[in-house]
């Protein structure tokens, strides 16, 4: 793949679902050809076409270029995720899965001849420039994307850190194309981030699944518990385009005591595999709300599907991307590789999410929330029983009780202010926190 972007895949011991660093050994060959006759007539046609192009094309083309283009076409015609990787692309894919690489910071794939943004990566130039999941890139600088291969488009988008690029986008719901100028940078992906949403209510954001995701998650989880055990957790997988399968399995395992996590099924017996939880729920059964959206793909869908099917978490947001196929990276003797779809993966309940995605338990879409100029900000408090003339006093009217009530009201006002700010900044997360609070209350009762 390119230095700038990663096409979503999926992996475990050579199997990929997002971008992965795990590789199989050897070369794809000799599994079926020994038992099947080669289509000699079709091969003769191929050689005839090759010779025609060499002799009649308007400009000379070397054999290496023609053969590489033929291989790219063969693999690219299978599905959106199978591809040929030359030496540089293969190296760059391995770099990308470690969580540090150069470029803009977006996950892309081809759609109807254009480059579709699967998801921008948190805190990257693309995310800061406002690139959104679902955007179609129709022009790179002055070059139309139509007619380019994904590899060509990615090659044009990559470049030296500090240099700028203009992307022309078509966004759903907007009539006019949008031109965005972005400065390339070295992308250092913080795979996991954490913070407290409210007392004893934690938040973990996983932006991609790399080889460092699980150890980082454990460190961030420990930080959340520095003031005591958590009552609940929001796990944010929105706009997470996937990554290493092993990382997705380990993240799921950290919140499950038992049961299946994901099953992989392919044509070959070696492609049949099931991953199960080894036990040891970090939260010890406390409630989890998982956030997903259309940018949640591949490995993130494995985590969401596992926690949903095992009834370990409530999923909130919108339908996920729907990438349920598995790719295997096979190195070649020329230091390149092929990435080929070899299997599908299934959630613990046996669901294939391929081209369908995972539906959340609670559908919540982002809404703009702004401050009101009246109401709570007007300075008028609602009238209560205590304000009425000659109202009965509370029999628990001692000073200690009044101090306790005043302190509680102060905490409630502080919490309400924080909730308003959260709603203004991230409405879906605000709703997730409300759901989590409800789950905690029910569980504690």
Q: Are 375 and 361 spatial neighbours (Cβ–Cβ below 8 Å)?
A: no
Residue 69 near residue 84, CB atoms below 8 Å:
no
Residue 2 to residue 244: CA distance in whole angstroms = 17
Structure tokens at 254: 């950290």
Query: What residues contact 24, with CB distance under 8 A and at least 6 apart?
Result: 13, 14, 328, 329, 330, 331
β-strands 232-236, 201-206: how paired? Answer: parallel
CB distance 18 to 118 below 8 Å: no
Active site residues: 298, 309, 323
**For residue 416, which phi and psi values (nearest 5 degrees)?**
-65, -40
**What distance in Å separates the CA atoms of residue 177 and residue 168, rounded to the nearest whole number?**
6
What distances in angstroms separate CA 18 from CA 36, 97, 208, 224, 299, one per listed residue? 32, 9, 9, 28, 6
State the Cα–Cα distance between residues 141 and 387, nearest whole angstrom.
66
What are the beta bridge partners of residue 192?
206
Query: Which is it for strands 143-144 and 164-170: parallel, antiparallel or unpaired?
Result: unpaired
Cα(79)–Cα(67) distance, integer angstroms: 20
Q: From 196, 225, 191, 193, select the one nearest 211 (Cα to Cα).
A: 191
CB 202 within 8 A of CB 194: yes
Residues 6+ apart with CB under 8 A from 224: 194, 196, 202, 203, 204, 230, 233
DSSP, res 392: P
Q: Long-range contacts: 122-125, Cβ < 8 Å, 24+? A: 122/189, 122/190, 122/193, 122/205, 122/207, 122/239, 123/190, 124/185, 124/187, 124/189, 125/182, 125/183, 125/184, 125/185
Residue 285 and residue 443: Cα distance in Å, rounded?
10
């Amino acid at each position: 793949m390119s230095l700038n972007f990663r096409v979503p895949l999926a992996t475990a011991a050579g199997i990929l679902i997002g971008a992965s660093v795990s590789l199989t050994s050897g070369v794809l060959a000799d599994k079926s050809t020994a038992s099947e006759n080669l289509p000699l007539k079709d091969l003769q046609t191929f050689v005839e076409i090759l010779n025609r192009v060499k002799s009649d094309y308007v400009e000379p083309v070397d054999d290496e270029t023609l053969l590489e283009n033929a291989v790219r076409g063969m693999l690219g015609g299978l599905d959106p995720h199978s591809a040929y990787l030359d030496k540089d692309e293969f190296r760059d894919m391995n770099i990308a899965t470690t969580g540090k690489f150069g470029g803009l910071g977006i996950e892309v794939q081809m759609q109807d001849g254009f480059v579709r943004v699967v998801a921008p990566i948190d805190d990257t130039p693309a995310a800061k420039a406002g690139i959104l999941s679902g955007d179609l890139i129709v022009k790179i600088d002055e070059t139309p994307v139509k007619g380019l291969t994904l590899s060509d488009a990615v090659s044009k988008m990559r470049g030296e850190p500090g240099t700028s690029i203009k992307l022309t986008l078509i966004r759903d719901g907007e009539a006019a194309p949008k031109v965005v100028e972005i400065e390339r940078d070295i992308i250092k992906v913080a795979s996991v981030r954490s913070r407290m949403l409210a007392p004893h209510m934690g938040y973990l954001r996983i932006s991609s699944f790399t080889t460092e995701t699980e150890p980082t998650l454990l460190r961030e989880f420990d930080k959340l518990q520095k003031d005591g055990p958590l009552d609940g957790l929001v796990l944010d997988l929105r706009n997470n385009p996937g990554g290493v399968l092993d990382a997705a399995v380990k993240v799921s395992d950290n919140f499950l005591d038992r049961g299946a996590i994901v099953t992989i099924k392919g044509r070959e017996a070696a492609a049949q595999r099931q991953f199960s939880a080894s036990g040891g729920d970090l939260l010890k059964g406390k409630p989890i709300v998982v956030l997903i959206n259309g940018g949640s793909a591949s490995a993130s869908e494995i985590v969401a599907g596992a926690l949903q099917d095992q009834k370990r978490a409530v999923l909130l947001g919108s339908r996920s991307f729907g990438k349920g196929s598995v790719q295997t990276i096979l190195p070649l003797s020329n230091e390149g590789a092929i990435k080929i779809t070899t299997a599908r993966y299934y959630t613990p309940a046996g669901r294939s999410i391929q081209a369908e995605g995972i539906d959340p338990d609670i559908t919540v879409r982002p809404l703009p929330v702004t401050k009101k100029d009246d109401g709570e900000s007007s300075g008028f408090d609602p009238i209560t029983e205590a304000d009425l003339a000659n109202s009965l006093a509370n029999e628990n009217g001692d000073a200690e009780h009044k101090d306790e009530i005043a302190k509680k009201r102060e905490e409630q006002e502080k919490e309400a202010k924080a909730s308003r700010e959260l709603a203004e900044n991230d409405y879906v997360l605000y709703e997730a926190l409300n759901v989590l609070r409800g789950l905690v209350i029910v569980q504690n009762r």
